[in-house]
A and B are shown apart, each in its own frame.
Chain A
Amino acid sequence: MEFQSPEFRVKVGLAEMLKGGVIMDVTDAAQAKIAEDAGAAAVMALERVPADIRAEGGVARMAAIGKIEEIMKLVSIPVMAKCRIGHMAEARVLEALGVDFIDESEVLTPADEENHVWKRDFKVPFVCGCRNIGEALRRIGEGAAMIRTKGEAGSGNIVEAVRHLRAVRREISRLGTLDPAELVPASKELQAPLELVEYVAREGKLPVPNFAAGGVATPADAALCMMLGAESVFVGSGIFKSEDPSRRAAAIVKAVTHWQDPAVVLEASRGLEGAMHGLDIAKLTPEEMLSRRGW
């Protein structure tokens, strides 16, 4: 893996710049402006927020080009956009449009049930979701420059994000206890490239930044993700499906920066109106679990 190539270094470099920040889902320019004014480090353009995709059903695709362009024109922070898993043509369109990052996302309807996009061939950086370290390393092997734990998008429920963050953290620390010979069966068991497994065992971290996503609805949810080792947080439906998007967005930004200081998280949480209603994960069928998409 060419971690040292100039192309890969500038991809991971942008991911480094987004650390300690909040990346917010937006569906139009007005929302993007609210996000930027609240202190978002980047915005993610998509056609519908995950909670609406869940409620309305149908095929979820890359956002309308006009909407993404509107957003790119209006805000000065990086603009990301989602493509469907395996949909390399959507990815090429987004790259040609000039978005700053592509999220190959399980939130959209997968275009390929076996293969993800071969991301090394692109100049634009990609972020991909994972539930565990094997999935993370497979995506990095394909060229992803940032990983986000999946959580359960559109649920308003942090439980899956916690599960995935803890799984990644636990597996990183386990790999650190193995000797070189043991990393070979570990690589086989995780279905991950050996050289990436060796990197994690040696460095005690993923080779690219690891952010959290899926189910963040409150400042305390965001702080919890940071406590569990996330380097930044994606917030989807949690902001624009709440009763006070602007204040909630600013509060979550503050909580991510000051996650180690409960007094600041308290102050950020004070006076917020209703959070999004949310779903009981245990009542979802396997088919309704977006995080099961991708492998």
Chain B
Amino acid sequence: MSGDSGPIGLLALQGDYAAHARALAARGATTREVRTSGDLDGLAGLVLPGGESTTMLTLMEGSDLAARLVAEIAGGLPVLATCAGVILLAREVRLPPQRSLGVLDVVVERNAYGRQLDSAVVALTVRDPGALGAEALEGVFIRAPRVTSVGDGVAVLATRGDDPVLLRQGMILAATFHPELTPGSPVVDLFVRQVRAAG
């Protein structure tokens, strides 16, 4: 994968892209930080990390980066979006409303579980062990968004209570939590398998 079909890009405008880089390196994948649209050339996959979605949106203004991201994702580039990354991709964002790339058919509410004092490590319910490749899953939630509505083409792989927290739509894998902060997370394993299968 890393040799023939290119590195995995990490959107590196702001956020925990370094944690993603460590998680991917542990699985033998090479990565490239993406700050401009030119950095998107020749990627085998793409990570939209956690961080502050408002900051990332501000940093995309005045460049063609957002348009290029949408084109690459629409073209079938395998994507892993975590936390703020899900907010960036969502069809609609609430609390407060903000613009988004609109390629993932979900509605999300920001900071819906509360502030940092409500951040927690939670045991999740795996809805589709076959697709995930694991029976158990830990979720590290940090000022996390909540998915309140899911479109028809979106599969729910795991939930926290009734809330969908791990979703798949085509080549997009979306987690409202942080698999990159759980050593050996099956979510990162699944993403790497998807990238390798696509390459």
Tell me how far the C-beta of B83 lies from the nearest C-beta in chain A, rounded to whole angstroms: 8
Residue B140, interface by CB 8 Å: yes
B16, A16: Cβ atoms under 8 Å?
yes
A13, B140: Cβ atoms under 8 Å?
yes
Tell me how far the C-beta of A275 lies from the nearest C-beta in chain B, rounded to whole angstroms: 22
Interface range, B side: 20 to 34
A254 to B115, CA, bound (A): 26
Residue A258, interface by CB 8 Å: yes
A39, B59: Cβ atoms under 8 Å?
yes
Give the residue of A9, A41, A100 whose beta carbon is less than 8 angstroms from that of B51. A41
A42 to B51, CA, bound (A): 10
With both beta carbons as reference points, the residue of chain B lying nearest to A38 in the complex is identified as B58
Residue A175, interface by CB 8 Å: no
Question: Cβ of A6: which chain B residues have Cβ within 8 Å of it?
Answer: 120-121
Residue B12, interface by CB 8 Å: yes
Tell me how far the C-beta of B150 lies from the nearest C-beta in chain A, rounded to whole angstroms: 23
Question: Cβ of B17: which chain A residues have Cβ within 8 Å of it?
Answer: 19-20
Residue B178, interface by CB 8 Å: yes
| B 2-13 binary contact with A (CB < 8 Å = 1; else 0) | 000000000011
Question: Cβ of B141: which chain A residues have Cβ within 8 Å of it?
Answer: 10
Chain B, range 142-181, C-beta contacts under 8 Å to A: 142-143, 178, 181
B178, A20: Cβ atoms under 8 Å?
no
Give the residue of A9, A20, A42, A254 whose beta carbon is less than 8 angstroms from that of B181. A9
A250, B14: Cβ atoms under 8 Å?
no
A21 to B55, CA, bound (A): 8
A20, B51: Cβ atoms under 8 Å?
yes
Chain A, range 85-103, C-beta contacts under 8 Å to B: 95, 98-101
| B 85-114 binary contact with A (CB < 8 Å = 1; else 0) | 000000000011000000000000011000
Tally A residues with Cβ within 8 Å of B.
37
Residue in B12, B51, B55 with the greatest tally of chain A CB atoms within 10 Å: B55
Tell me how far the C-beta of B172 lies from the nearest C-beta in chain A, rounded to whole angstroms: 21
B13, A257: Cβ atoms under 8 Å?
yes
Chain B, range 36-54, C-beta contacts under 8 Å to A: 50-52, 54
Residue A292, interface by CB 8 Å: no
A124 to B13, CA, bound (A): 26
Give the residue of A16, A37, A41 whose beta carbon is less than 8 angstroms from that of B52. A41
Given contacts A36-B54, A38-B58, A39-B54, contact A257 B119 (CB under 8 A): no
A20 to B52, CA, bound (A): 10
Residue A123, interface by CB 8 Å: yes
Question: Cβ of A14: which chain B residues have Cβ within 8 Å of it?
Answer: 116, 119, 142-143
Residue A77, interface by CB 8 Å: yes
Residue B18, interface by CB 8 Å: yes
Tell me how far the C-beta of B109 lies from the nearest C-beta in chain A, rounded to whole angstroms: 11
A76, B111: Cβ atoms under 8 Å?
yes
B116, A125: Cβ atoms under 8 Å?
yes
A220 to B83, CA, bound (A): 31
A42 to B116, CA, bound (A): 12
B54, A10: Cβ atoms under 8 Å?
no
Tell me how far the C-beta of A91 lies from the nearest C-beta in chain B, rounded to whole angstroms: 13
A267 to B115, CA, bound (A): 35
Cross-chain pairs A/B with CB under 8 angstroms, 14 sampled? A6-B121, A17-B51, A17-B143, A18-B52, A19-B18, A20-B14, A20-B15, A41-B51, A42-B52, A98-B117, A100-B115, A123-B117, A124-B117, A258-B35
Q: Hey, which bits of chain A sit against chain B, CB under 8 A? A: 6, 9-10, 13-14, 16-21, 36-42, 72, 76-78, 95, 98-101, 123-125, 231, 250, 253-254, 257-258, 261
* 4 new A-B contacts at CB < 8 Å, known A99-B116, A253-B59, A261-B35: A20-B12, A37-B58, A39-B54, A78-B116
